[in-house]
Structure 1
Amino acid sequence: MNTSIKFGSIHLIVLSLLIHLGAVAQKESTYLQQLGLKDSLYSKTLSETRTIYVQLPSGYNPENQREYPVVYLLDGEVLLPALSSVYENYYGGFMPEMILIGISNDHDRTKNLTPTTITTKYGMPFKEENGEAATFAQFLKEELIPFVENKYRATSYRTLVGHSYGGLFVCHELINDPKLFANYLAIDPSLDWDDQQLLKQAQKPLQVELEGKALFISMSGQLHMQDPTITIDNLMQDTSDFTLFSRSIVQFSNLLKEKGKGLKSYWKFYPNDIHGTVPLPSMLDGMLALFHWYQMEQTDKFNSPATPKDELYAIVKYRAKKLETHFGYPVPPYPEDLMNMSGYMNLDMGQPDKAKMFFELATEYYPTSGNAFDSLADYYESQKDYTNALKAVSKAYALSGSNYHKERMEAFGKKK
């Protein structure tokens, strides 16, 4: 069913392939935006109730069969707004629709996110509880992730994001349990912890296979708190404690590029940001880098009336195979809205064969969508093929049960 205005200009197809234009009705609210549904679970591992904040995709429907990848964000009570802003601006064309899980670390943060126990730090007594990252990792693996995947329509394709001690935890997970997540985003990670303990661990031959995994590490511009002459160019020549934090990040990144067999590794320096401001730009660049493979290809071909139908079909099938390779399970290559729009636009351009192809592909990749079959019925109606139009809309009615589709069935039945 064409629920939108038919578009005369082919230029709109580029926009629709770069931006997910699915219009979702907004419920009336006192607020401009509501962010992060609060949820919780009791953890036997941690002996406490742990709060999480759940941000669902706009089209999320617990009743249908569609499932979504998940991003697990440490310090979610602080960082979820930044991640949500990045996601809302780039999902669809640059990254998949995903469920965002903000994990609260508002207490026992140092204890939960650091991998080894210390009593002094930079020569000073360190009295905070620390060193139980392995226990927190057990909570993620055995309790939180199963909780999310049982309660929400979540897949096993996961991304882990953390800042500072959270970034340290992200790197710890990559080295010690890389099967749990596909992507790792470590923002200005505290890799100086315990005299670079994790760096020393990574210097040994890695006992894990990182094929297909991706890591993005960022570093803020705070290289030396007291000496402004220290720059990214001479950082590694300094041996003072003041640069150990930054040097550890550079060393860890370089080491993984050398030893991380199969790992796709990214590193970026933000000279104009400090430790507290670097999360937002890191999330933007990091998520785009980690999901660079998701970005739509050859959109100019869709925009050109001269592109042969077979070439367009090959592009769609290539993308479907590419996404399945990365996710590990089949997913539709494009949102249903975009396939439908491509079909209607080709009808408007007088290219019915291409239109039929897009409508049929929509029914192939969205076989439970009444709207997809109703749009195919529109194609057959435009060709005055009322027999097949009736078959298509009958399928739509079987899926939707809507009176609209029933009325169309009756109308086509009279025209046969």
Structure 2
Amino acid sequence: MQSEAFEKAREIRIWVPFSYTETKESYPVIYLFDGQFDALFDMTTGISDYMSQTGLASEYIIVGVKTEDRPKEFTPTFLNPKTGANWKDKGDVGNAKLLEIHLQKEVFPFVEKQYRTTPFRVAIGHSLGGTFLLNTILDQPSFFKSIIAISPNITYDFEQLVTRFSEFTDKNKVLNKTIYISTGTAERLEEVFKPSTIKLDSVLKNADLKGLNYRFEVLEGLNHSETPIVSISKGMNQISKIWNLSEVQQEHFLKDTSDTFINHLKAFYKNKSRWAGYDIIPSADEANGFGYFVFHEGDANLGLEIIDWALKLYPNNVNLYDSKGEMLEAQEKFKEASVYYKKALDKLETKKEEYDEENYNYYKAIYLKNLERVNK
């Protein structure tokens, strides 16, 4: 894309999860900085794909933001004149505002126009990329709801971020964000960065900030190149603790007789919406999963009740009709099951153009087999 902020062409790279082409739902977005590094981009998409397919995290669109001059783009304006002299061999440092403008006026609008996205943005940055992300919390708090700052350089500008975060926490009592920060212990860079990062951790850990989901980890024995390998999955897992409903939480809802399971679910999403700042409902797959969870726990009627709730949210979702058919069949309500298997086939036919031929034929064969079985 042509960037007015940088007065030149800039590149981003975009990866979408497998299900993106099979649904009309919107997806949260991970913005990965240093997107020009193929190995980092491929590792991040691979980890995200694995965690979503195993139920450990949500599915994300991933945008790799390519960087041409890391010291210039990732560092905030320096406050101490000595910093300019200390970094003179790195070129024109302290111009993070250019990247902020590029994101705000060019990258975000492009991604959100071209792709089906939710307002929930996550950012991942390593080294100076992590420095940039931590700075956005103070400079541009609306940019990202969650950040994963891996081995950030907090020493920059005589620990500017430690000072500014200390001032921020003195004046503010609410910070609705997830922040994951890591540092290694091996070799020179981590040995240099670690003490300043621990100072920042002390500030954040001791601050009484409501809404903050925060974790700091010292990764023993890992060097600067190794910390991303561990931190990306750990950071995404930290986000999932507040963003996704775990099986343990579902079990708690099922056992808690103070309210119904569905009301507990609705309360969870209401609180999540309040934290995120926009209305959130479970995806069709999530709602389907809740239905099967209670169904397999032995409450078939509750499972059907949840599927009915999901169908009100997603009346055109093919899989939900099939799921209701399966639950009815398991209760030996074959006539009713037949109705919903037939509805699944009918919905599939109306949405045929949304599937490639292989997947369409695959699902059609399954639904036909289900229908034939209950009609015997």
Pairing 1:71–2:9 present: no
Provide the secondary structure at the position in 2 that maps to 1:76: coil
Structure 2's unaligned 5+ residue stretches are 353-363
Cα separation, 1, equivalents of 2:84 and 2:138: 24
RMSD after superposition: 3.7
Cα contact 2:75–2:132 (8 A) shared by 1: yes
Match of 1:103 among 54, 65, 72: 65
Which residue identity does 1:363 align to in structure 2? L
| Cα distance change on mapping 1:289 and 1:340 into 2, 3 Å | closer
Which residue in the other structure is 1:22 paired with? none
Q: Deviations over 1:171-192 (max 9, x none)?
A: 1101222122111111111111
In terms of mean alpha carbon deviation, does 127-136 or 152-161 score higher? 127-136
Cα separation, 2, equivalents of 1:98 and 1:170: 19
User: Which structure has the larger Rg over C-alpha atoms?
Assistant: 1
Q: TM-score, normalised by structure 2?
A: 0.77
Cα contact 1:186–1:217 (8 A) shared by 2: yes
Cα separation, 1, equivalents of 2:49 and 2:99: 29
Q: Which protein has greater RCO, CA pairs closer than 8 Å, 6+ apart?
A: 1
Q: Deviations over 1:294-328 (max 9, x none)?
A: 241337849x9x999x8554554454445444443
Matches within 5 A, 1:7-406: 41-61=1-21, 64-78=23-37, 79-91=40-52, 93-105=55-67, 107-116=68-77, 118-121=83-86, 125-205=88-168, 210-222=174-186, 245-259=193-207, 261-262=209-210, 263-293=212-242, 294-298=244-248, 301=251, 312-314=261-263, 316-327=265-276, 328-332=278-282, 335=286, 338=289, 341=292, 352-377=300-325, 382-385=332-335, 390=339, 393=342, 397=346, 400-401=349-350
Q: Deviations over 1:59-89 (max 9, x none)?
A: 002x843001111111123222222232223
Cα separation, 1, equivalents of 2:203 and 2:148: 16
Structure 1's unaligned 5+ residue stretches are 1-40, 226-241
Which residue in the other structure is 1:31 paired with? none
Matched residue pairs, number?
343
| Cα distance change on mapping 1:385 and 1:324 into 2, 3 Å | farther
Cα separation, 2, equivalents of 1:208 and 1:180: 18
| Cα distance change on mapping 1:265 and 1:313 into 2, 3 Å | closer
Cα separation, 2, equivalents of 1:224 and 1:352: 59
Which residue identity does 2:178 align to in structure 1? A
Q: How far did 1:147 drift?
A: 0.9
Which residue identity does 1:257 align to in structure 2? K
| Cα distance change on mapping 1:144 and 1:208 into 2, 3 Å | farther
**Higher helix proportion:** 2
Provide the secondary structure at the position in 1 that maps to 2:18: coil
Cα contact 1:323–1:331 (8 A) shared by 2: no
| Cα distance change on mapping 1:183 and 1:376 into 2, 3 Å | same
Q: How far did 1:344 drift?
A: 7.7
Cα separation, 2, equivalents of 1:271 and 1:391: 54
Q: TM-score, normalised by structure 1?
A: 0.70
Q: How far did 1:150 drift?
A: 0.7
Cα separation, 2, equivalents of 1:377 and 1:246: 56
Provide the secondary structure at the position in 1 that maps to 2:153: coil
Which residue identity does 2:36 align to in structure 1? E
Q: Deviations over 1:233-262 (max 9, x none)?
A: xxxxxxxxx965322111112122334733
Cα separation, 1, equivalents of 2:153 and 2:160: 11
Cα separation, 1, equivalents of 2:313 and 2:198: 44
| Cα distance change on mapping 1:55 and 1:197 into 2, 3 Å | same
Cα contact 1:93–1:295 (8 A) shared by 2: no
Cα contact 2:72–2:92 (8 A) shared by 1: yes
Which residue identity does 1:43 align to in structure 2? S
